[in-house]
Copies of this chain bind each other. A is one copy, B any other.
Amino acid sequence: MAAWHALIRGHGGMMRKLEAELQAAHGLSLAAYEVLAHVSEAPDRRLRMSDLTTCSQLSPSGLTRLVDKLVRDGLVERVRCAADARVVYAALTERGLEQLEAAYPTHLRGVRAHAIDRWDRDERDTVACALGKLADLPPH
């Protein structure tokens, strides 16, 4: 139970700090950053909405609205799929790529400072393994 409380508090505190830093330095929420990051890693730097839903922490509707915002901000474009008119790709724009590359060091530094650097190798491995066991895919 102590482990559970530590998980709640630790996670919460870390997330708030990361979020605040990213917001202050680049005007990006953590959710937005993660979407940009996922998209940038995909082939052609574009990803279907449904794939984004799977790898993000958002429900489909939440993702739709976040992408709306990213489109408004010019970081992403919606591209209809030629083969299947139901699907929409979120595609990184030039500006989106620049923004992501600018934010990346901030984020990496934050994750290190607030999490990874506080653990030794053994803790890192155990956390990765233990937390990995919680992740049977969620029904949003």
Q: Which residues of A contact B (CB under 8 A)?
A: 1-4, 6-14, 16-17, 20, 57, 111, 114-116, 118-119, 122-140
Contact = CB atoms under 8 A, between A and B. Distances in A.
Nearest to A17: B138
A30 B82 CA distance: 43
Contacts of A140: 16
Given A6-B128, A9-B131, A12-B138, 11 more contacts: A3-B119, A3-B125, A4-B111, A6-B127, A6-B129, A9-B57, A10-B130, A10-B133, A10-B134, A13-B136, A16-B139
A116 B14 contact: no
B14 A127 contact: no
Contacts of A133: 10, 118-119
Closest 10 CB pairs of A and B: A10-B131, A10-B134, A3-B128, A6-B131, A126-B126, A13-B138, A123-B130, A6-B132, A118-B133, A12-B57
